[in-house]
Amino acid sequence: MDIDIHALKALEREREIPFDILVDAIEAALPGAYHRTEGAFKNARAELGRKDGHVVVWAREETVVEEEVPVEVDEGEDLPLDEEGKPLMRTRTRRELGPEFDDTPTNFGRVPPPRRPVRSSPSGCATSRTRPSWATSAGARATSSPA
């Protein structure tokens, strides 16, 4: 996705909004749009190229790591041992973020078509289709009667 830098520069001149503030606002808004795409990663940030306007979404995958660590004891207490005389261990779970990678969605930045509201039909079934304005009740009866 590319953003027109010339349009941002014009906005900067016309509205007297610093260019960096415009870029920061766009970079802050884009992750919200990214998170509404299918398969989006929780940890992501957007970066807008200040010279070319190219937008990249950088994502990081979160993984769960389990490791064995000694049981914690209060100061002055002896470390508990198992039957073999080894320190008693417990499993500690923590989350790690992997390296960043480009996860810019295809067609990112394109505005999706508006969704039609779901309306209830006279029969009580939900439908998103509506009758054209010319299909009034009288007109519908007239066209449905045998000729």
* Residue type present at position 85: G
The pLDDT confidence band at residue 139, using thresholds 50, 70 and 90, is: very low
CA–CA separation, 5 and 26 (whole Å) = 12
Prediction pTM value: 0.58
CB of 17 closer than 8 Å to CB of 23: no
Tens digits of residue pLDDT in 103-126: 999 877 665 556 666 665 565 555
